[in-house]
A and B are shown apart, each in its own frame.
Chain A
């Protein structure tokens, strides 16, 4: 079953604008959420995470927002750069659950 869902397979954004990638989850036991970034021919690499005790975590141009009541999180990239073009995976885990990944969203940032 798809416990973590990324409903947008792709997103195109102009350079300098904000990119917003969305993720929904169904398992209310998840308490730790992560975003991974994947370039072609490489493995996914960790980007940013958030614990369920927070609703926002920021790291430079990247901010993750968590809405526990809606079981929704989002990744904001601002300003977007062409080098941000990649596939972004949302992941969620808890003490009693293996980490589950979404299907990914392909972000393209146009110069």
Chain B
């Protein structure tokens, strides 16, 4: 079974600095999709960024980018120029591309932004 591991329960970063959140996953499949979701204090989960495993190019969305290392099964999220509004729980997630399967989430990393 696939698993997603986020080894950092909490992280802090100074405003305007850069922070990287780690995520590793375990799968025997070669085709899959990876996601990062954000859950602010409002509790509303929103998609931050997604990556297709067959694409070598790392996805980027404004200040958010990923470092996708397929062989290492690693999918880290980099947040540049951190802002106070980035404070949230961040969840890494996996979904198979071969089966109509559920999305599997990691346990999350709580990110604090220090003013």
Chain B binds chain A: no
